[in-house]
Every structure is written in C-alpha cells, then in structure tokens.
Structure 1
C-alpha cells in the first residue's frame, strides 16, 4: 500500500485515519460481494487513498492504488472537460450547430455542443448500429424529444461530441483526451481493453463468488465510456472542477458547472450542467458523475465550497449498492456527502389500461404488459423486469432479477391513462 495521509472529522474534532476508511471499505466489500474496491478522498489539500480486495476473482492479484477500473460514463465528464477547454481557447462555440463545426450537411442545426453536453439534444440513448459511422447514426436517428426541450441521456450525443473534438483538434479522441486533460492532470491513461485494466464482475452467486466479465464497448462509443482510471485518478479529474483557475478559466468553468434550465435527470441526479451532474446536499450542491461499465460501478463527487473530492471504484456489479452504504458511513465520519438513496415511495396504484403498450428510445423498446400470472412486467430490449408497480406520483418500480429487490427505475410522463412517454434511467422513450 502506498503512503497515505490522515483525514479529519470536523464534527467530532477527532482524527479519522486512513485505517478507518480502509476498515469501512473492506467490510462493505465483503457485505456486498464486491471483489475489489478503491476509495480516494481529497480534503483540505490532503489526499487519502485506500483499497481492498482483488483485481480479478480468479487470478487473485491484489487491488492497489494504481489499479485502473473501467469507469463507464464518468468518461463523459472527461470528454466534456476537453470540449470546454476548447471553448475556453475559442476553438469551439457552445451554441454553434455541430454540422458547421464538422463542415458537413444533413445534421439538425439544433444539435449544438451545449445541448449535446447537457443531454438535451433529443438524440436517442444509443446508436441503432454500433458498427456504423457516427454521422450516419446521428443523421438517421429518430429524436426522442425536440432538441432543447427535455433531458434524455444520450451516449450517441457524446459520440458526436467526440467527433467535434477530433475535428477541432486534428487528433483522435484518445489523443485529445490524453494531451489536453489526462497528462496535464498527471493521470496515466488506460482504457477498458488495456492489459492493466481491472476486470469487472457480475453479482456474487453461491460459493464461486462473482464471475469475471470482459469489457465490450464499440469504438463509436469511446467518448461516452472508454476510460479506465483508479479512484486516485478520479480525484485528480475532480480537482480540475474545484473552481480554481487551471485547465478551465473561471468563466468557462462557471458555464460548465451551472445547472441547465429544463435538464431534469430524473433518477440520475438533481440537475445537470455541461457534462457534469448536480447532487443536492443539505447545505450545498455537489458536482460529479456516476459510471458503470461491464461489471463495474464508479462514483465521483466534488464539493467546491469545501474543496473536497470523493471518488469510489468497484469491480463488481453490486458496487452501486455498496456506494450507497459507503456514502452513509462517510457522512458519519464527517464527509457531508449528499444522500442519493431513492426518494420516498408513494402509495401504489393500479396501472391504467391506457398506459400499457410500447415506448421507444432509438432502437430500444420499453414495453409495459401483463404477465401470465396476472401481474405486470416491464420489458426493456427483450429483458423482462417483473412486478412492475406504479405509484401515485407516476414513479415506477420493478423487481431486480439479480437481487430480487424492489427497485425504483423511472416514471411515466403525461396524463394518467394517456401516458406519452416513459422515463427510465434518465432516458425518455415516447409511445409508439
């Protein structure tokens, strides 16, 4: 284990050592069946890094501070940061149509960097053909809402941001993110398929433990999810967004961090900026991003007011639940992290017949239908989620097939019995 420094618990005025953090991390990894995890905290200028477990369940190599974990969608924060550096350098304009930047025709003029970065472009979540060229997929996409009218999480939108970065810099996305962001931040680049990248794992089952999972990400979606970083690396990425002049000047950073009107990322966060999420705490707002790759779960939180960054990585599918428990225990140790547990569940109500049917986001169908036992299920791209329950506030929950737990997953949009859309995981799907 590399040298580690002490943190501090302001609430009790007692020192909280790295040993405390390690004990909590190791215990929760055992509870949730997560093979390996890392925790990094930057507070009062002091960086603490601890880790537990193994990189790969079968090879048993210990997780260390430099272990690179596939961070999934936190890659989008890196991509957005690079784009905003280009904005600061006057090489990219936030409200210029993407087609003008690329020098091509056939793109909707409403696709601007500002909307792409804030997930308000109206583009579907994913390309219909992951082997196709980005511009072909964008040109042929069926919009889920008019651009600028609502939030709908879009990996395809970030693929287009990657194309903008490549066009402006003359570099590939990987070259640009390394040269403009990672190396200046002293982050050693790694990607989902890199030899030194940690393996993801499924949920623990029986005595065999969690099963290793190989990463699978098409090149088209690299700007949306290709990076693999340690928790310590994530803290350095978060340090860029602490509000001090650095890679981003103060004005550009304020534009990036400001909450975009109308961007309501239901179920993902409390608000959204340009590539960065807002999480409302009791006294202030934390910035950050979450990410899941194949069998990994990673989380980054940034408190500008307290000059604090917290990063967590886990190489197990149960990492999200582990993070929820970990953030609760970190709050008890004096870190005032926002509570991101699901909101209170209201009274269940019958699902109106008019809300049954299929809703579509790009090539993905979300179908509400009855099952053979008289219950209701949600079918997402062919995968069945049982025990669909509608609540009086229009939120919906399903039974998680992996854990058996009832899990809030989204909401219906529109008048009861005449739903016009379903929102699942921050993605809008309109009625077919």
Structure 2
C-alpha cells in the first residue's frame, strides 16, 4: 500500500487529544474526503532536539515498516505553517477509544488483547526493529473494543545498532536498566509488565525512584502477579518475566502458548460461517443470489423446481460415512448369496494378525461356513421355487374362474372369483415385501 502525505493545505487541525514530552497529538480532518486522523507534531522553533529526533525517528521507522492489522497505521508526514510557527507532523490512524491503562477484568478479553500485542511485536521484530517502550499507554483499543494496536514508535530503534537505553524506566528489562543490552527480549519483558498493568490498572513496579530501578536491575525480584489471573496466564507471565533474557520466550513461542493459542483458534472459529444442518441453512449458497438473507425457505425451494435445476457438486464438502451406515448399505446392495460369499471370505481371514489359527481350526471354520452357505442357498432356492409354483397355481385358479364366470351367472362362483383375486393380490404384496427385505 502506497503511503501518501497529506499536505497542510488539505487538512485542518482540531482539538488536542494528547500532550507529553514528545510534543502534542491532535485530531485532524482531511478536506479531501472528510477523514478524521491523528497528527503528532512538534514545533520546530521551540522543541528540544531530542523531541525533533524522536519524531523523525518514528517517521523513518513507520515508513519502512509494512502495515500490520495490530499496529497503528502510518498515513504520511509533512511540515505545516500555522501562523508564525512551523510544525513537523506525523499523520496516524485515529483511534478514539483510548488505551488499555484501565483494568481489563475479563480474562477472555485480556487474552485477545495480549494476542494482538504479541502478534504486532513479532511483526516489528521480524523487520529488525525493537519497540523499546511497550506499556499500556502505547496500546490503543480498536474495533469497538475487540482488539488493540501497538502505537508510539518514538523510542523504537533498529536492531544491532548501538544506542543508549530508551523507554519508560518502570517497564524496562533488567539488562536495559544495567545498560547491557536492549533487543526483542527486552520488549518481551515490557510485554509482561504491560499485561500486569492491564490486570491491575497500575505499573508492575511501584515508583520509588532510584530504589525501583535498583530492584529491577540488580535484585532477584519479579513483578507481583495478581491472584485473579488463571494458571495459564500466570505461566505465560513467567515466560515473559524471566530475569535471564536468554531464557525468555520469543514472540513466536508466546503465540504458541496455550494462554494465546486458544484465543487464536477461537477467533478463527468465530469468524468462519457456522456449519449448515441442511441445504436451507446455508445462507451463502447459490440459492441466495443477490437476494437478502431473509428469503424464505419456500422461495429457495421454488428455485429447485426450475428447468435448469440445482448444481449439486460437493464444492468443498466431504462425505462422511460411519461403519454402521456402510454395513447397512452393503446389506441393501448385495443379494443373499453374494453376502454369504463375502461372509465366507471374511471369516477365513484372522481378525488378529498376531495370533493365527491352527490348520485343523482353520479347516473346521471353513467347513462350518460351507455348510452354512449350502443351507442358506437351499432355503433360498426352496423359497424361490415355492413362490413361483404357488403364484402359477393361483393364476390358474383365477383363469378357470374367469372362464366359468363368462359362461355362467352363478353367484357362488362370483364369490370364489373375488376370494381368489384377493388371495392373489395379498400374495403378490407378501412376495414383493419379502424380496425387498432380502
């Protein structure tokens, strides 16, 4: 996506929404399309050199960083002339819902937020950048409270590039306080402190000035983990807040932790369509067309009655049949004699590969199956021939009665004829039903 700068002549600065040592953040409105965005600015005439350098550093890094759904979107930069002052401006996505510095009491929501944050940090680290200032104030709520985005890259730096320690002291990792190292592992420590902050609404370490820095950098203490978090959450924090940075988990590993992995699968499940129980439940099927989802079942069924008919290809569906259904289909598909042969072949094979029957047992089993097969075939043939001859006899009686009926008006004969007709009808039904069962 090409990033386009918004010149001062095309936007209007609005009210302030943030102010700090870096400068100011204001709302702004584009004259071109009415879009509201955020402008991070420093006054070039009055700002400190560190403020100007921080903003230029953020612009450079965001311009080089590929967009990510959980990182505040970079929209451009410019220099504006406003009255007698000149401002260096960074244009960013506007997120009006604020940050996550308030207590997040729902652990399901907490997991979702942490997953977004770890995903953003993994993207930052994979691009050779360390954020250096991960804390609740720099994690902004998005999507109506459903997700969060990482913001404020003013302290960020490129990996393997010598630089003095930077960031907020109470969120710094022990190695950063000791001025030994600052890298992706340091961001993971700050991530753990941020999770504690989201749970409690206050920093993971109490602010006692130099004493706090001494505890972070040179003691064996760890941030206090609140009792309300689950065991999975407690284990996740333990992986983040290991004082030895070589033992801390990376963002790739943290995304596979059960505390976050369940959230990812659950969200994926929620974003997919629910499985239909029948054709009429499939709201995105071909029966909908350009019509709305409120089309009635009768209207959908009427489309099946057209000359073209419906397309019944699987379209990704997989047919699943249980063993019981296969056995039932086999019984309905094959005649009795074929089923007997199959049973004979199956019974001659041992069901347990580790134990094979002896020769005498095998021959006895085969003989038993052969006898059963012969008896089955005999019974079946008797049934077939009996059915055949009985139907011939009934039809002969029927013909004789018809002949005598034509030559006589005997009422008694008509009764016999009616009885034989009824007998023939019932016998045909019985034979047909017996054939369908077999």
TM-score over 0.5 for the alignment? no
Whose radius of gyration is greater, 1 or 2? Answer: 2
Tell me which protein shows more strand as a share of its residues.
1
Tell me which protein shows more helix as a share of its residues.
2
TM-score grouping bracket, smaller chain normalisation: under 0.3
Structure scoring higher RCO (CA < 8 A, sep ≥ 6) equals 1
